[in-house]
């Protein structure tokens, strides 16, 4: 139907959109348009992954995550490779797609593409000015424990780790 931009920023757009539902009802909705993102579970070894602890001002603290970032006029896999280099200083010989996640479909179209990265090589990292990141190596089983204990609450990261663990045979199909 019709839409207008209520806010346009460097990362996202907020639209006011007149939407017609399947039952014929028409309502005005706020929607956030997002270019999408990629998230990566980097395997340092067959059993060890690299997670990051990142300061997130929106929630007022440091949280556990997998490396991730916004797609910038590139494919999801190119974004994953770039974010892997920038955030953890690694380049993958093998990058495997794990699936994708709709972050919050009630108000945004954001899709995060999930990947596992294998056969890593050390390269210079390029942490951005608005990032504070600590890279932590740990067994994949310890990353799973962070999910089960509630210490890792970031949804994209939890789902990426669960997909990777299943691919590695740690979770039943």
Q: Which residues contact 37 (CB under 8 A, 6 or more apart)?
A: 68, 69, 70, 71, 79, 110, 111, 112, 113, 156
Name the catalytic one among 44, 96, 128, 129: 129
Our answer to whether residue 87 is catalytic in this structure is no
Helical (H) or strand (E) element with 165: helix 155-167
73 alpha-carbon distance from chain centroid = 17
Report how far residue 144's alpha carbon sits from residue 161's, in angstroms, rounded to the nearest whole number. 7
Angle between helices 140-149 and 155-167 (to 10 degrees): 140
**64 — alpha (psi -120 to 50), left (phi > 0) or beta?**
beta
| Helix boundaries (H) for 94-154 | 140-149
Active site amino acids? 129
């Amino acid at each position: 139907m019709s839409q207008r931009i209520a806010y346009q920023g460097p990362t996202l757009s907020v639209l006011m959109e007149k939407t017609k539902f399947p039952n014929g009802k028409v309502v005005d909705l706020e929607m956030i348009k997002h270019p999408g993102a990629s998230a990566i579970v980097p395997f340092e070894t067959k059993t060890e992954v690299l997670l990051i602890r990142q300061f997130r001002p929106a929630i007022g603290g440091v949280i556990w995550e997998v490396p991730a970032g916004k797609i910038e006029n590139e494919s999801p896999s190119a974004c994953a490779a770039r974010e892997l280099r920038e955030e953890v200083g690694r380049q993958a010989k093998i990058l495997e797609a794990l699936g994708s996640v709709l972050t919050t479909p009630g108000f945004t179209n954001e899709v995060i593409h999930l990947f596992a990265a294998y056969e890593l090589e050390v390269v210079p990292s390029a942490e951005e000015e608005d990032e504070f990141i600590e890279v932590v190596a740990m067994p994949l089983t310890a990353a799973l424990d962070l999910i089960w204990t509630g210490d890792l609450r970031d949804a994209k990261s939890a789902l990426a780790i669960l997909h990777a663990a299943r691919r590695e045979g740690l979770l039943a199909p």
